[in-house]
Amino acid sequence: MAIAKPDAVSKEGLDAQTLRAMYRHMLRSRVLDERMWVLNRQGRAPFWISAMGHEAIQVAVGMNMEPGRDWLAPYYRDLALTLVLGMTPRDHLLSVLAKAEDPNSGGRQMPAHYGSRAHNIISTGSPVTTQLLHAAGIALAFRMRGEDAVCVTAFGEGSTSGGDFHEALNFAATHKLGVVFVVENNGYAISVPVEKQMATPHVSDRAQAYGIPGVSIDGNDAISCYRAAREAVQRARSGDGPTLLEAKVHRLTSHSSDDDQRRYRSAEDLEAERKQDCMPRFRGLLEDLGVLAAGDADAMRAELVVELDEATAYAEAAADPLPQTAMLHVYAEDS
């Protein structure tokens, strides 16, 4: 594998509309993410874990999936990905405020534990890496029914050290299943740097153990992300089996609202990573290309903030779950 160089946009066959949509998806996630942190600092949301810095790859993958047909086994950073697939800021605000209406879990799980049957997004628990095997099983079911749908699963680089990573890639590769394994490599597992996680320079090197393509891309380069995602999804759909797609991203926040990364990372590093934020970079590119006119991006943000304010108001007004409802849904009621 080799780090892919971002090609000229033209070569990507990406029209202005797609590029705008891509930027808008990224921005929608970012402003929602910012709002979550505000709510957390105000003490209104006890916990948040952020997608900031991971937006480009998530949106690129989501835009190459077919909603209603393809499935997603996400992890807690996949805010942008769930939005592209049709979940809304309101859905996640209901979750961060633990409201009964929260479609992810009815306020039962921590925020960012995504899930929605309506969007083919399977429910996420806290133990990492387990969902990779679920993705393989989902793709196996597609295969058995002769459907060419794709299952995408995403996870961090630290999670590739767990046994389920190996068992899932091994099974999916052995049966050439339609899975795209997306590693959002931000270099850290909470405080543990990737050098203490593995010996190879790229997570995608792990693909060689399974005889499948391993691709590493600059996760701050939205265009490369889009191209790589499209290839991986097409490969999965056409029956050529899984891809291990690694996006090198930066975690622009502490691991979560319970963490303070200044305890284990230098100010210089953090500053350097901020400078590579995928958002301004993509915005700059689109402005150079004339896809975004001066002011467009700000207008877009303003418009998204309106949606966000409405959603926040709605979520805050929504009802808390009733205590007794804790007893429900341990088993299917009909059973």
Partner 1 sequence: MPTKTYLEAIREGMRDEMRRDERVMILGEDVGAKGGVFGATEGLQKEFGEMRVMDSPLAESCIVGVCIGAAMNGMRPIAEIQFQDFIMPAVDQIVSEAAKMRYRSNNDWGVPMVVRAPFGGGIHGALYHSQSIEAMFCGVPGLKVVVPSTPYDAKGLLVSAMRDPDPVLFFEHKRAYRSVKGEVPDDDYSVPLGTASVAREGGDIAVFTYGIMVHTALEAAQRLARDGFECEVVDLRSLRPLDREAIVASARKCGKVMVAQEPNLAVSISSEVAAIVAEDCFEYLDAPVMRIGGPEIPAMPFAPALESFYLVTPDKLEAALRTLAAY
Ligand X SMILES: Cc1ncc(C[n+]2csc(CCOP(=O)(O)OP(=O)(O)O)c2C)c(N)n1
Residue 75: name the closest of 126, 120, 134, 32 by CA.
126
**Structure token pair of residue 230:** 């499209």
Query: Which of 12, 101, 167, 287: binder of a second copy (CB under 8 A)?
Result: 167
Query: Which of 124, 186, 197, 254: binder of Mg ion (CB under 5 A)?
Result: 186
* Size of residue set near ligand X by CB under 6 A: 16
Distances from the Cα of 94 to the Cαs of 173, 232, 320, in angstroms?
38, 33, 10
Q: Based on CB atoms, which residue is closest to ligand X, 189 or 223?
A: 189
CA–CA separation, 136 and 113 (whole Å): 20
CA–CA separation, 135 and 141 (whole Å): 10
CA–CA separation, 2 and 236 (whole Å): 21
Q: How many CA atoms lie within 13 A of 323 on its CB side?
A: 0
Which of Mg ion, a second copy, partner 1, none binds 211 (CB below 5-8 Å, type-dependent)? Answer: a second copy
CA–CA separation, 192 and 210 (whole Å): 26
User: Interface mask (CB under 8 A) for partner 1, residues 61-100, using x and -?
Assistant: ----------x-x------------------------xxx
Residue 204: name the closest of 230, 178, 176, 232 by CA.
232
Residues 76-95 that bind ligand X (CB under 6 A): 77
**Residue 159 binding ligand X, by CB under 6 A:** yes
**Residue 241 binding partner 1, by CB under 8 A:** no
CB neighbourhood size of 286 (10 A): 21
Stretch that binds partner 1, among 5-13, 52-60, 156-164, 270-278 (CB under 8 A): 156-164
User: Interface mask (CB under 8 A) for partner 1, residues 115-144, using x and -?
Assistant: xxx----xx-xxxxxx-xxxxxxxxxxxxx
Work out how close the CB of 117 gets to partner 1 at its nearest, in angstroms, rounded to a whole number. 5
For residue 189, what is the enclosing H or E element?
A: strand 188-189
Residues 133-162 that bind a second copy (CB under 8 A): 161-162
Q: Based on CB atoms, which residue is closest to partner 1, 25 or 202?
A: 202
The set of catalytic residues is 251, 255, 264
**Residue 170 binding a second copy, by CB under 8 A:** yes
Query: Which of 109, 204, 220, 243: binder of partner 1 (CB under 8 A)?
Result: 109
164 SS3 class: helix
Main-chain phi, psi angles of 73, to 5 degrees: -115, 90
User: Interface mask (CB under 8 A) for partner 1, residues 167-186, using x and -?
Assistant: xx-xx--x------------
Sign of CA dihedral 33, 34, 40, 44: negative
Work out how close the CB of 60 gets to partner 1 at its nearest, in angstroms, rounded to a whole number. 24
**Residue 127 binding ligand X, by CB under 6 A:** yes
CA–CA separation, 72 and 65 (whole Å): 9
**Residue 156 binding Mg ion, by CB under 5 A:** yes
Helices (H), the chain: 16-41, 55-63, 79-84, 89-96, 130-145, 163-174, 222-237, 267-275, 278-288, 296-317
User: Interface mask (CB under 8 A) for a second copy, residues 212-251, using x and -?
Assistant: x---------------------------------------
Stretch that binds ligand X, among 96-104, 116-124, 125-133, 283-291 (CB under 6 A): 125-133
CA–CA separation, 222 and 280 (whole Å): 11
Q: Which residues bind ligand X (CB under 6 A)?
A: 77, 126-128, 155-159, 184, 186, 188-190, 251, 255
Q: Which residues bind Mg ion (CB under 5 A)?
A: 156-158, 186, 188
Q: Which residues bind a second copy (CB under 8 A)?
A: 161-167, 170, 173-174, 176, 195-200, 205-212
